[in-house]
Structures are given as C-alpha cells and as structure tokens.
C-alpha cells in the first residue's frame, strides 16, 4: 500500500486533496475528501477511460494532465495524474487563477489570451471537453524558452446524452465556445471579475 504523508501535500479543491506521489515527483495522487460522493470522483475517471485511445502525438501539446490509474493508499483510493511543473524551475506550475490575481504577473495579458486560444483550439480539434472550466483547474506551465502552455488538471468530461460533439467538429466547436462563454473564460476581464466575486463571498477555494 502506498503511504502518503502530510509532507506530500500540494493543494486541494472542493472534492479532492492533491499530493506528490511518494516515489515519483513527476506524478501526483488525488484523494477524495471524506464527504464527497464516490460517483462524483469517478465521473472524470470514466471520461479518461473514454478518451484514452486518442492519438496524443497529433496534439499540438499535451493540454490536459494525463491520468495513470488508481492506487490504494493509507488515505483511501488515490487517483494518479501527471504533475504539471515549470521547466524553468521544476516547481509545480501555478494555476491561471494565481496569475490572474497577481498585481504584477510575469506575463502580459496577451500571452494568456493567446495561450487560452490555443487551448480552446486543441479541445475542439481533438474533441476533449472540460465541463468544469475554471482558472483553478488550469495550470500555466512555463517552458524553458519562457513561453506558456495551459494544461487542464481537473474537470474533464461532459454529460451529453447524444454526444454529437464527440463525433462532429462543428458541434465540438459550438460546445467548447459555449463552455468558454458560460465559464467567463472568453475574456480575461470577465474571468478576473468572476474570481473577484467568488473571493468576495469569503470562499477559501477560488
Ligand atoms: N496535475 C496537477 N499538476 C499540478 N497541480 C495540480 C494538478 N492537479 C491538481 N493540482 C493543484 O491542486 C489543486 C486541486 O486539485 P483538483 O483541482 O484536482 O481538486 P478538485 O477538488 O477536483 O477541484 P475542484 O474544487 O475544482 O473540483 C488544483 O487547483 C491545482 O492547484
Ligand atoms: Mg479543481
């Protein structure tokens, strides 16, 4: 059984806690919080099973953190993912939420706009959908040449009964664009406003 200790803790969302994999610092292990329904945790896992045969060599870049399966841990069932790290420092990449809240971010806004556009195009082209599109679920990976790649670390999947978007690019495009709009991810000012509103409610996980 894998033993996870407090020292492995990275961060958490509403549903899961995220830890370093104790034997491989390029991976993380996510554990469901006690009051979270198991079914909720498996929604994303089932979607990963569905998309596992995508030809990732056709991706412009790996735009979501890959899922590597389940593991039994001292804290319960763990779900293993690739850990997103900056090439420049090997630190865990900050999320888009971190950068959008910075007074003086190290990247200009148009860098984020372009990176978001690139991410959106990959989702459409490869028909990989993100239901829970939030700034805290997107890591900003800094590459060696100081450019940015946005990588989705949580919230993949969709609940369409008739998944036309899985089959036709026309519907995939409509679906992704609608999701960006509804999630206020179509403009940085809309996303910053949303983050401000959520922060003003006193929430700790933004
Ligand atoms: N693969 C990863 N690489 C780097 N950091 C990650 C990764 N996965 C998660 N994180 C960090 O851990 C945080 C919590 O993880 P995650 O989003 O999976 O939890 P969650 O409870 O499912 O979130 P939510 O509240 O959005 O449903 C993320 O916001 C991010 O900061
Ligand atoms: Mg999350």
pLDDT in tens, 65-89: 999 999 999 999 999 999 999 999 9
- Report the atom number in ligand 1 closest to the C-alpha of 16: 21
Distance (Å) from CA 149 to ligand 2 centroid: 18
State residue 192's pLDDT score: 98
- Report the atom number in ligand 1 closest to the C-alpha of 81: 1
Name the burial class of residue 46, with classes exposed (0-12), middle (13-18) and buried (19+) by CB atoms within 10 angstroms of its CB: exposed
Radius of gyration of the chain (CA): 17
- Tell me how far CA of residue 1 lies from CA of 72, 76, 90, 198, in angstroms: 6, 10, 27, 38
pLDDT > 70 fraction of the chain, expressed in percent and rounded: 100
Ion ligand 2 residue ranges (Cβ < 5 Å): 13, 137, 154
Q: pLDDT digits over 155-174, tens only?
A: 999 999 899 999 999 999 99
- Backbone φ and ψ for 63, nearest 5 degrees, come out as -90, 5
Tally of CA atoms within 13 A in the half-sphere of 164 that contains its CB? 6
């Amino acid at each position: 059984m894998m033993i996870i200790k407090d020292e492995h803790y990275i961060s958490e969302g509403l549903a899961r806690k995220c830890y370093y994999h104790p034997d491989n610092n390029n991976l993380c292990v996510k554990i469901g919080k006690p009051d979270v329904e198991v079914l909720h945790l498996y929604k994303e896992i089932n979607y990963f099973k569905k998309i596992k045969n995508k030809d990732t060599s056709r991706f412009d870049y790996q735009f979501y953190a890959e899922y590597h399966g389940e593991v039994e841990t001292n804290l319960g069932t763990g779900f293993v993912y690739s850990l997103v790290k900056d090439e420049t420092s090997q630190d865990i990449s900050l999320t888009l939420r971190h950068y959008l809240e910075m007074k003086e971010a190290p990247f200009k806004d148009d860098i984020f706009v372009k990176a978001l556009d690139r991410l959106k195009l990959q989702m459409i082209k490869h028909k990989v959908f993100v239901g829970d599109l939030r700034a805290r679920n997107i890591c900003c990976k800094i590459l060696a040449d100081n450019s940015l790649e946005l990588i989705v670390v949580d919230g993949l999947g969709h609940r369409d009964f008739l998944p036309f978007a899985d089959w036709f690019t026309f519907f995939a495009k409509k679906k992704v664009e609608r999701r960006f709009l509804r999630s206020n991810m179509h403009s940085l000012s809309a996303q910053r406003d949303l983050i401000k509103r959520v922060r003003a409610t006193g929430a700790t996980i933004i």
